[in-house]
């Protein structure tokens, strides 16, 4: 019996077409460094996974990327192969200690074009330590502006926020030009989104004029289920201009990759999840160019 039209063969053919398209595609660099906060106070939505894999996709497309890990768990640092034991110069030292990013960033060992500002567990105490710090909301912004001014070759800064709306996340949003929100394709996908949206708008009025939500990325979608399709439809109906065309599928390989200190883009480049993240990176470039 012929297997030419089986779901597996169809998926393989689609993957090969997408890979060929990505190799030909032009990943346009923004005219100036763009700083993007990747945020969702709801945990488990693919925030860190999206940060590191989009960074990998951008780097493979020829862009220079700085990833700032602002989550005390340090999962973005781990996924990019950067060790971050206690005592490692980190985001904590930048926000609390006044360290320069120049002295903190490390190159990603697996992917050319990515620099990483790692996080350590020390960052978990930053919320309390920031309370009495003068200009506490601007600590990261001031350090990042100084670094970007000296390193104009950085095309995109991606900042992985903690899953909360505390002072560390506030620092990130005050430093950012825009916010990208990963949304898991599940029943409670929109829960808490209005709070995050309102927070972005308030910061845009009071502390960082021009800050906006620039994109929403659906993650962990299972096209075999009606629920995923319904959630995707609901998100697109509410936010038609913000929702990425690309949808990130649920994939075991995406989940496995961090345990090998890798992104799925490097761990299994032909995997449907790796290809989806590279397509999302390309779409991000197109969105950045359109927004200039």
The region of weakest confidence among 104-108, 114-118, 223-227 is: 223-227
**What's the pLDDT band for 1 if we cut at 50, 70, 90?**
very low
Q: Which residue has the higher pLDDT, 213 or 225?
A: 213
Whether the Cβ atoms of residue 129 and residue 137 lie closer than 8 Å to each other: no
Q: How much is the average pLDDT of 98-113?
A: 97
- Angle between helical axes of 47-60 and 272-290 (0-180°, round to 10): 80
**What's the pLDDT band for 4 if we cut at 50, 70, 90?**
low
Kind plus residue range of the DSSP H or E element containing 124 = none
Q: Which of 113, 94, 101, 102 is nearest to 263 (CA)?
A: 113
pLDDT given for residue 292 in this prediction: 58
Distance CA(39)–CA(42), nearest Å, equals 9
Q: How much is the average pLDDT of 99-112?
A: 97
Q: Collect all residues with Cβ–Cβ distance below 8 Å to 138 and sequence separation of at least 6.
A: 171, 174, 207
- Angle between helical axes of 272-290 and 7-24 (0-180°, round to 10): 40
Q: Which of 188, 187, 185, 250 is nearest to 216 (CA)?
A: 185
The region of weakest confidence among 8-17, 193-202, 250-259 is: 8-17
User: What residue segments make up the domains of the chain, in order of their start?
Assistant: 32-290
Handedness of CA 144, 149, 150, 153 (dihedral sign): positive
The structural architecture, per CATH, of the domain 32-290 is 3-Layer(aba) Sandwich (3.40)
pLDDT given for residue 2 in this prediction: 46
């Amino acid at each position: 019996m012929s297997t030419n039209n089986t779901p597996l063969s169809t998926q393989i053919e689609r993957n090969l077409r997408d890979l060929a398209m990505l190799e030909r595609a032009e990943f346009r660099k923004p005219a100036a460094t763009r700083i993007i906060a990747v945020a969702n106070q709801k945990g488990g939505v693919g925030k860190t996974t999206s940060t590191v894999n989009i960074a990998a996709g951008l780097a493979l497309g020829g862009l220079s990327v700085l990833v700032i890990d602002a989550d005390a768990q340090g999962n973005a640092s781990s996924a990019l192969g950067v060790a971050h034991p206690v005592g490692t110069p980190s985001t904590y030292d930048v926000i609390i200690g006044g360290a320069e990013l120049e002295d903190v960033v490390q190159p990603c060992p697996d992917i050319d074009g990515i620099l990483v500002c790692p996080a350590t567990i020390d960052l978990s105490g930053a919320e309390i330590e920031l309370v009495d710090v003068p200009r506490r909301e601007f600590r990261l912004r001031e350090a990042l502006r100084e670094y970007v001014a000296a390193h104009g070759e950085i095309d995109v800064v991606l900042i992985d926020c903690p899953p909360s709306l505390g002072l560390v996340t506030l620092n990130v949003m005050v430093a950012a030009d825009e916010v990208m929100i990963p949304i898991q394709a599940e029943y409670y996908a929109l829960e808490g989104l209005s709070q995050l949206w309102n927070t972005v708008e308030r910061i845009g009025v009071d502390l960082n004029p021009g800050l906006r939500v620039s994109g929403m990325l659906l993650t962990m979608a299972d096209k075999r289920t009606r629920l995923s399709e319904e959630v995707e439809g609901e998100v697109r109906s509410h936010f038609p201009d913000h929702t990425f065309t690309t949808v990130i599928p649920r994939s075991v390989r995406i989940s496995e990759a961090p345990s090998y200190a890798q992104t799925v883009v490097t761990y299994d480049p032909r995997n449907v999840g790796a290809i989806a993240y590279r397509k999302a990176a390309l779409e991000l470039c197109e969105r950045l160019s359109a927004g200039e």
